[in-house]
Amino acid sequence: MKSFFFSGGKPQPVYFWISLLMILVVGMIIMAMMNRLPISDTVFISILGLVGGWVALYNWDRTNRGGKE
């Protein structure tokens, strides 16, 4: 688990926040399936797009800048 949140001894807080958002999305899906959260599919797709775009942008930036902060 440590290797998921740390790389080269430096923390990667982006992966922590992405994991937290994905846990919340899964919770929203479960609650929607149980009819306890009346929410549209557009919200799910938007949040998943946000998380996917965030991961892609973060990894693209790390690759192109060579991991330099």
Residue with tokens 């306890």: 36
Q: What pLDDT is attached to residue 6? A: 73
Confidence of residue 68 (pLDDT cuts 50, 70, 90): low
Q: How many domains does the chain have?
A: 1
| 24 inside domain | yes
Helices (H), 1-69: 2-5, 13-33, 41-64
| 13 inside domain | yes
Buried b (16+ CB within 10 A) or exposed e, 24-48: ebeeeeeebeeeeeeeeeeeeeeee
| 26 inside domain | yes
Q: Give residue 59's identity as a one-letter amino acid code.
A: N
Confidence of residue 59 (pLDDT cuts 50, 70, 90): confident
| 44 inside domain | yes
Alpha-carbon distance of 14 to 17, in angstroms, equals 5
| 69 inside domain | no
* Structure confidence by residue, pLDDT tens digits, 7-56: 777 777 787 888 888 888 888 888 888 888 788 888 888 888 988 898 88
Q: What pLDDT is attached to residue 43? A: 84
Domain, as residue range, for 45: 2-64
